[in-house]
């Protein structure tokens, strides 16, 4: 299975005089290869822990263990490399559960042996997902949506999975915002 090329992350800040400057530039330092689903890679770009987000020159907030969802009132931006379903659906239900434990949210996994996709999950977040490489299918409880490069999904706390039905790696950029289920929407 081929891997996708790396990319550069640029983070701005302010110097001692209040002038705009580049604070960080280079490869993303927080890259997590899932052991339970080989080829799945999370590239953590940035995250915030409050709203409004504090604008400061603090240390890189991604230098910590991987957590699928942002904290209360927080946000996350990440890039995820998605291997073909030949890899994703080859994992056992136990390995799928382990994958969600690896990304800090064991309770998010909803998949089982009878699920439409082994990596079905649900989080209490609003997610913006942008396909940047390849093709993926958004798998919902009763339908699939084919997505190509440039397509954008606004995922509002629904049970879902990302299916790569090709033989090539796919890549998506995700922006996750902490959310709260409205009455009658909670699982």
pLDDT on residue 131: 98
pLDDT at 181 over 80: yes
pLDDT on residue 186: 66
Report the distance separating Cα 124 and Cα 3, nearest Å.
30
pLDDT band with cut points at 50, 70 and 90 for residue 52: very high
Q: DSSP states of 80-116 as a string?
A: EEE--HHHHTTS-HHHHHHHHHHTT-GGGB---TTSS
* Domain extent listing, the chain: 28-178
Section 60-76 average pLDDT: 96
Mean pLDDT of the chain: 94
Taking Cα atoms as reference points, which of 47, 5, 48 lies closest to residue 27? Answer: 5
Report the distance separating Cα 106 and Cα 98, nearest Å.
7
Q: Which residue has better confidence, 2 or 53? A: 53
- 137-163 tens-digit pLDDT: 999 999 999 999 999 999 999 999 999
Question: Could you tell me the fold of the domain covering 28-178?
Answer: Jelly Rolls (2.60.120)
High-pLDDT (> 70) share of the chain, %: 98
pLDDT at 93 over 90: no
């Amino acid at each position: 299975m081929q891997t996708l090329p790396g990319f550069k992350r640029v983070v701005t800040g302010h110097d001692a005089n209040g002038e705009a400057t580049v604070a960080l530039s280079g490869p993303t330092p927080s890259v997590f290869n899932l052991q339970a689903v080989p080829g799945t890679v999370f590239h953590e770009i940035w995250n915030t822990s409050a709203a409004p987000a504090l604008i400061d020159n603090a240390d890189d907030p991604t230098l910590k263990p991987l957590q699928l969802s942002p904290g209360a009132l927080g946000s996350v931006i990440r890039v995820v490399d998605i291997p073909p379903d030949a890899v994703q659906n080859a994992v056992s239900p136990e390995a799928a559960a382990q994958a969600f434990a690896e990304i800090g949210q064991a309770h998010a996994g909803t998949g089982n042996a009878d699920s439409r996709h082994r990596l079905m999950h649900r989080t209490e977040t609003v997610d913006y997902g942008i396909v940047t490489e390849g093709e993926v299918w958004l798998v919902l409880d009763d339908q699939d949506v084919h997505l190509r490069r440039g397509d954008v999904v606004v995922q509002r706390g629904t049970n879902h999975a990302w299916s790569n039905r090709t033989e090539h790696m796919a890549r998506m950029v995700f922006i996750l915002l902490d959310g709260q289920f409205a009455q009658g929407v909670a699982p």
